[in-house]
């Protein structure tokens, strides 16, 4: 059986350590009743452990060469292999609109996009686990006040409990990446409604972090305009990385009221 050559343009780094693969596969056991969707299985190093979980497993792979390999190596997966781009898929169709666990050894170059898609489908994905670049994992898991705290931290933590599980050496991959990796698990928290306009919440978070070194008074200008009286509120003396998720929700509500006042003039 011909092995798949890792493709740089797809961000492929194939895991070769079976112990690490087993440990990643076991992160899905927190919700043992749900089916599993694995993103980017490559040659199936993680898949081989997932299919032993005695529940439905599907894999989505965009690389035709990997798809051919998987079909030959895992004949039991024949009807469970989705040859598609995960970022373009309608996730409601994967398990007939039923919830599932998302997992994988995610391509570094699209991991953030994968998690934004997870957020768009948060009601379908009560748990997401997997391996990503260590720096991105630290960002997602970071607390307010830390340098790593940013857009991904706030948007994901608004809806998910984040666990940084373990670090993975670059030496267990082919080819070895230039950075360390980490395995994380994100499990839906009890939030069903943010208590603010979700679209505006995302805009406020992204706009303020785009100029993260500035105080909110300055970084919020693209939304509120210059010399807005609302910015005299003490919260605007802070920088975005100092705000908790709840403080961002409060800020969003204040911004929404101010925008309504401006529109009424």
3-state secondary structure the chain: CCCCCCCHHHCCCEECCHHHHHHHHHHHHHCCCCCEEEECCCCCCCHHHHHHHCCCEEEEECCHHHHHHHHHHCHHHHHHEEECCHHHCCHHHCCCCCCCEEEEECCHHHHHHHHHHHHHCCCCCCEEEEEEEHHHHHHHHCCCCCCCCCHHHHHHHCCEEEEEEEEECHHHEECCCCCCEEEEEEEECCCCCCCCCHHHHHHHHHHHHCCCCCCHHHHCHHHHCCCCHHHHCHHHHCCHHHCCHHHHHHHHHHHHHHHHHHHHC
Q: Is the pLDDT of residue 248 over 90?
A: yes
Per-residue pLDDT tens digits for 120-160: 999 999 999 999 999 999 999 999 999 999 999 999 999 99
Q: What is the pLDDT of residue 230?
A: 93
Q: Is the pLDDT of residue 265 over 90?
A: no
* pLDDT > 90 fraction of the chain, expressed in percent and rounded: 81
Q: Is the pLDDT of residue 254 over 60?
A: yes
Q: Average the pLDDT over 75-100 and give the result.
A: 95
Closest CA relative to residue 73, chosen from 89, 88, 51, 54: 51
Enumerate the domain spans of the chain: 8-188, 198-264
Per-residue pLDDT tens digits for 158-214: 999 999 999 999 998 877 778 899 999 999 999 999 999 999 999 999 999 999 999
Other beta carbons less than 10 A from residue 257's beta carbon: 11
Superfamily in which the 8-188 domain is placed by CATH: Vaccinia Virus protein VP39 (3.40.50.150)
198-264, CATH topology level: Helicase, Ruva Protein; domain 3 (1.10.8)
Q: Are 211 and 195 in contact (CB under 8 A)?
A: no
Question: In angstroms, rounded to a whole number, what is the distance separating the alpha carbons of residues 201 and 112?
Answer: 18
Q: pTM of the predicted model, to two decimals?
A: 0.93
Say which residue the tokens 């051919």 belong to: 68
In terms of phi and psi (left: phi > 0; alpha: psi -120 to 50; beta: otherwise), the region of 127 is beta
Q: Is the pLDDT of residue 3 over 70?
A: no
Residues present in the chain in total: 265
Q: What is the pLDDT of residue 13?
A: 67
Which residues are registered as beta bridge partners of 173? 15
* Torsion over CA: 183, 189, 194, 198 (sign): positive
Per-residue pLDDT tens digits for 28-82: 999 999 999 999 998 899 999 999 998 999 999 998 988 998 999 999 898 999 9
Closest CA relative to residue 137, chosen from 102, 201, 186: 186
As a whole number of angstroms, the longest Cα–Cα distance in the chain is 71
* pLDDT > 70 fraction of the chain, expressed in percent and rounded: 95
Question: In angstroms, rounded to a whole number, what is the distance separating the alpha carbons of residues 182 and 165?
Answer: 7
Higher pLDDT: 218 or 13? It is 218
């Amino acid at each position: 059986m011909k092995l798949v050559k890792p493709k740089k343009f797809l961000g492929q780094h194939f895991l070769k350590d079976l112990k690490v693969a087993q440990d990643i596969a076991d992160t899905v056991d927190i919700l043992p009743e749900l089916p599993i969707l694995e993103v980017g299985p490559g040659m199936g190093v993680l898949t081989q452990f997932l299919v032993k979980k005695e529940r439905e497993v599907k894999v989505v792979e965009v690389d035709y060469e990997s798809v051919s390999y998987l079909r030959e190596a895992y004949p039991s997966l024949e009807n469970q292999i989705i040859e598609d781009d995960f970022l373009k898929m309608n996730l409601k169709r994967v398990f007939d609109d039923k919830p599932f666990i998302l997992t994988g050894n995610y391509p570094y170059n699209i991991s953030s996009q994968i998690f934004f898609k997870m957020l768009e489908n948060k009601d379908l994905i009560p748990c997401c686990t997997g391996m990503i670049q260590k720096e991105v994992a630290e960002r997602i898991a970071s607390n307010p006040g830390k340098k790593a705290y940013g857009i991904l931290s706030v948007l994901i933590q608004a809806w998910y409990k984040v666990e940084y599980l373990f670090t993975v050496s670059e030496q267990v991959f082919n080819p070895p990446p230039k950075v360390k990796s980490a395995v994380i698990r994100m499990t839906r928290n009890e939030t069903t409604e943010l208590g603010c306009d979700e679209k505006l919440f995302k805009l406020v978070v992204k706009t303020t972090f785009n100029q993260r070194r500035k105080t909110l008074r300055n970084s919020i200008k693209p939304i509120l305009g210059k010399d807005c009286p609302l910015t005299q509120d003490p919260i605007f003396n802070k920088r975005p990385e100092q705000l908790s998720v709840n403080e961002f929700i409060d800020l969003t509500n204040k911004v929404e009221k101010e925008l309504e006042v401006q529109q009424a003039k």
